[in-house]
Amino acid sequence: MVQVSLQKGAIEAAKDKVIVVNLFEGVAKPGGATGAVDKALGGMISEIISSGDFKGEWGQTYLFRTFGKIPAERVLLLGLGKQKEFTKDRIREAAAKSSNVLKKAKITAYSTIVHGAGIGGFDAQTAGEAFFEGLYLGAYSFDRYKTEKKEENGVPVEKVTVLERDGNKVRILEKSWARAKILAEATNLCRDLVNLPAQEATPTYLASVAQRIAKENKLKITVYSREEMQKLGMGGVLGVAQGSAEPPKFIVLEYGGGRKGEKPICLVGKGITFDSGGLSLKPWDFMVDMKEDMSGAAAVICSIQALARLKVKANVIGIAPCTENLPSARPLKPGDILKTFGGKTIEVLNTDAEGRLVLSDGLGYACSRDPQAIVDIATLTGACMVALGRKATGVMGTDQKLIRKILKASGQTGDQVWQLPLYDELSEQVKSNVADVKNVGGRYGGAITAALLLKKMVGDFPWAHLDIAGPAFTDLAPDGIKKEYQPVGATGVGVRLFVNLVENWNTKG
Ligand code: BES
Ligand code: ZN
Ligand code: ZN
């Protein structure tokens, strides 16, 4: 991760070659830290504004020379847009934006103020958290397989010095910084796991990462092998794993930061380390990104790491059923019937609808732990992406209070989460003639019928389901429009959302 330091001091006196300050749209005379730099520069910023070259529009940047008037050789002006449109997520984006712009200019170290506090209207803690998250998340890159480091696209920023002149605020920012670092580290680890090719990120590898997290944070962990799953009757995972030579793993990672005896919150993540579709093989252009099909499992494992490091007061069990979905000489076949951990049977009509098969075991296992609530997360359906686009997570469930909590958390983390209706009438579409349920629900309402199958596995426990098929992975525009703090590839969606959800579990409203 990028090296960050926080110091008490005035930005206009910073010794780095570049300093970063900001401006809201429509402000003629800058105040605060930007005002101080303007003054030290003899009104250069005011002049640039009145010339019309820089208006402070959202996303606008302006890099100019200081000609020896202050120690820094250049100033980067960052437009924050209209003040009434300013949000916490824009603070994350603004923080990442300065690194992205300076990367292109091949500047590897700079000093900056925290955007959004003061004139921005956010308190130092909130602004600080979003700012440091944005810095760390934006500086992420997955380049370990690149043997030629080309400089034409820029040079990554290595060092960022954050300056704040108010000592009290520095102390508040120190706390925000520590917290944001933990959240960003977990998110970036999640991104790594998803970005790793399927040849590397196997179920065994995911289990080893979970084991490392358990060891580092003194957590309880259980990893069930194929043989143990057979004894436990986890027919869903085993059915999907049938076509793969790679051993499946059922990972249970437990964090006990809450009261003794307090019922756990169970998080269940789909862990298909590669989804070829199985015998119901995907066309190649639908298969290319299918290493991402374990994004749910990665989000669950990594959010447990963050919860433990943040010492959140809650008992949380992370559950990740992991396997590949491949065709072979002895594969799962359309028409096969699987018996899941909870005892329910599923007729498999399409082996590409495998997520709901492994999740059925995950959810059944979650029920066996007598949880206060269950939340699952999965790159489950193309249909959800058709409905909501490439950026939004679909949420469905049986407990509106839980869903409200999730929607509230998403407002804090900058995730787009939208509720889809879990119409019971559509259950007709997953009725089977020979088993309790079938794994395809016809052409229409695919995200909902998938969720309705899952609903059958959770009994009366409060439950919500997150379909992240869209936002788990981003590529280039137009439909993969990315945020400044989301480099191309895995986004790590779910990690910050889960942490926020668990942290605010008992907050009213
Ligand atoms: N992993 C896919 C869903 C997916 C698609 C995730 C695109 C991310 C991007 C899932 O296993 C799948 O193939 N679902 C099928 C279900 C259908 C066969 C009922 C789908 O959505 O087409
Ligand atoms: Zn599939
Ligand atoms: Zn899948």
Q: What is the 3-state secondary structure (H, E, C) of 333-361?
A: CCCCEEECCCCCEEECCCCCCCHHHHHHH
Question: In angstroms, how far is CA 84 from the centroid of its own chain?
Answer: 27
What residues in the chain have per-residue pLDDT under 50?
A: none
* Token pair in block for residue 374: 């269950």
Burial of 88 (0-12, 13-18, 19+ CB in 10 A): buried
Q: Of the ligands numbered here, which is closest to the C-alpha atom of 289?
A: 1
Mutation pick for ligand 1 pocket among 291, 356, 381, 474 (CB with most ligand atoms within 8 Å): 381
294 C-beta closer than 6 A to ligand 1:
no
Q: In 369-434, where does DSSP find H-type helix? A: 382-388, 400-413
- Whole-angstrom Cα distance, residue 259 to residue 278? 44
> Is there a contact between 290 and 324 (Cβ–Cβ < 8 Å)?
no
358 Cα: distance to centroid of ligand 3 (angstroms): 10
In whole angstroms, how far apart are CA 440 and each of 234, 276, 335, 355? 20, 17, 12, 11
Task: Examine residue 197 and say whether the peptide bond preceding it is cis (omega within 30 degrees of 0).
Answer: no
438 part of the active site: no
User: How far is the C-alpha of 447 from the C-alpha of 236, rounded, in Å?
Assistant: 19
For residue 312, the CA-to-ligand 2 centroid distance in Å is 35
Q: What are phi and psi of 356, to 5 degrees?
A: -65, -20
Q: Quick one: which of 161, 325, 314 has its CA closest to 242?
A: 325
Report yes or no: 6 and 173 within 8 Å, Cβ to Cβ: yes
Q: Do domains 3-146+154-164 and 196-503 have the same CATH topology?
A: no
Q: Catalytic: which of 179, 270, 309, 356?
A: 356
C-beta of 334 in contact with ligand 1 (< 6 A): no
Residues 146, 143: Cα–Cα separation, whole Å: 5
What residues pair up with 464 in beta bridges, in sequence order?
Answer: 375, 397
Whole-angstrom distance, CA of residue 23 vs CA of residue 45: 10
**How many angstroms does the Cα of residue 324 sit away from the middle of ligand 3?**
9
Burial of 144 (0-12, 13-18, 19+ CB in 10 A): exposed
Q: Is the dihedral of CA 278, 420, 481, 122 positive or negative?
A: negative
Closest CA to 232 of 361, 345, 338, 348: 361
**Would you say domain 3-146+154-164 falls under CATH 3.40.220.10?**
yes
Contacts of 478 (CB under 8 A, 6+ apart): none
Task: Give residue limits of the domains in the chain.
Answer: 3-146+154-164, 196-503
Confirm or reject: Cβ of 416 under 6 Å from ligand 1.
Answer: no
Measured in angstroms, how far is the CA atom of residue 353 from the centroid of ligand 2? Answer: 5
- Choosing from 8, 69, 263, 282, the catalytic residue is 282
* Max Cα-Cα span within the chain: 81
Does the beta carbon of 467 lie inside 6 Å of ligand 1? Answer: no
Distance CA 502, CA 264 (A): 11
- The per-type count for the chain, helices as H runs and strands as E runs, is 15, 20
Q: Is there a catalytic annotation at residue 356?
A: yes
pLDDT tens column, 159-177: 999 999 999 999 999 999 9
Amino acid at 55: K
- Report residue 348 as tokens: 């498999």
Query: Per the structure block, which two tokens stand in for 211?
Result: 């084991």
Residue type, 4: V
H or E element in which residue 93 lies: helix 88-104
Q: With CA atoms as reference, report the closest residue to 201 among 133, 340, 301, 286.
A: 301
Tell me the residue ranges of DSSP E strands in 447-506. 463-467, 473-474, 489-490
472 CA closest ligand 1 atom index: 8
pTM above 0.85, yes or no: yes
Q: Are 498 and 481 in contact (CB under 8 A)?
A: no
Distance 355 CA to ligand 3 centre (A): 5
* Token output for 438: 């079938």
| CATH number at 196-503 | 3.40.630.10
What is the predicted pLDDT for the residue at 156? 87
**Which token pair is 185?**
């580290």
pLDDT at 481 (0 to 100): 61
The shares of helix, strand and coil residues in the chain, as percent rounded to the nearest 5, are: 40, 20, 40
How far apart CA 378 and CA 356 sit, in angstroms, is 9
Amino acid at position 85, single letter: E
- Enumerate residues with CB within 5 Å of ligand 3 (an ion): 272, 275, 293, 355
Please classify residue 4 by burial: count the beta carbons closer than 10 Å to its beta carbon, then call 0-12 exposed, 13-18 middle and 19+ buried.
middle
